[in-house]
């Protein structure tokens, strides 16, 4: 671990996308979602017409890279959470997309499976929140067949895009 990775994008955006933790690339560049998963996420956003420079702010639950890219522990999530909550307050987004189970656990405090919760709008503290599959999951299961994670995520992000640009 070299540095803190706080966020990237437009701090005034209506859409906040929250990931898990920085990986090796993110640690090097000091920005979230710039490695393989980030590139896939950017492509998906482009495909549904979301401008990832102008209309999104990206951050992670965990602000520094866990050793060997392991999943953050509950203790680590709890230690980093006050910073995440402060960051949400400052960005003040209308919509939040939680990518994967760590972000889901940190913000929604549920242990549900992603497959059960993804794609639904959940209201919390005056914001609309959607859980989607983590892009690293799509890298592991890259099938583009209908009803597989990739297409489902595209559908979820289309839903996000229509809300975001209907303002």
**Residues forming the site for ligand URA (CB under 6 A):** 19-23, 26, 32-33, 35, 37-38, 60
Give 9 or 23: the residue with its C-beta nearer to ligand URA.
23
Task: Please state, in angstroms and rounded to a whole number, the distance separating the CA atoms of residues 150 and 93.
Answer: 25
Q: How far is the CB of 165 from ligand URA (least distance, A)?
A: 25
Give 35 or 119: the residue with its C-beta nearer to ligand URA.
35
- The dihedrals phi and psi of 123, each to the nearest 5 degrees, come to -90, 135
The β-bridge relationship of strands 8-9 and 56-60 is antiparallel
Q: How far is the CB of 34 from ligand URA (least distance, A)?
A: 7
Residue 107: strand, helix, or coil: helix
Q: How far is the CB of 66 from ligand URA (least distance, A)?
A: 11
Give 140 or 146: the residue with its C-beta nearer to ligand URA.
140
Task: Please state, in angstroms and rounded to a whole number, the distance separating the CA atoms of residues 155 and 74.
Answer: 30
Residue 132: strand, helix, or coil: strand
User: Computed over its alpha carbons, how large is the radius of gyration of the chain?
Assistant: 15
**Which residue has the CB atom at the shortest distance from ligand URA?**
19
Q: How far is the CB of 48 from ligand URA (least distance, A)?
A: 19
Residue 20: strand, helix, or coil: coil
Give 21 or 97: the residue with its C-beta nearer to ligand URA.
21
Q: How far is the CB of 126 from ligand URA (least distance, A)?
A: 25
Instruction: Show the tokens assigned to 105.
Output: 């656990």
Give 23 or 93: the residue with its C-beta nearer to ligand URA.
23
């Amino acid at each position: 671990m070299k540095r803190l990775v706080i966020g990237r994008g437009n701090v005034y955006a209506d859409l906040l996308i929250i990931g898990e933790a920085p990986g090796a690339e993110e640690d090097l560049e000091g920005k979230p979602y710039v490695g393989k998963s980030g590139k896939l996420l950017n492509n998906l956003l482009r495909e549904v017409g979301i401008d990832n420079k102008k209309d999104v702010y990206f951050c992670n639950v965990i602000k520094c890279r866990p050793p060997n890219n392991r999943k953050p522990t509950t203790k680590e999530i709890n230690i980093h959470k006050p910073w995440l909550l402060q960051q949400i307050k400052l960005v003040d987004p209308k919509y939040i997309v939680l990518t994967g189970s760590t972000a889901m656990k940190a913000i929604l405090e549920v242990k549900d499976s992603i497959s059960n919760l993804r794609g639904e709008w959940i209201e919390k503290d005056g914001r609309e929140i959607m859980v989607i599959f983590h892009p690293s999951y799509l890298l592991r299961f890259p099938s583009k067949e209908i009803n597989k994670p990739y297409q489902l995520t595209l559908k979820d992000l289309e839903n996000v895009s229509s809300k975001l640009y209907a303002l």
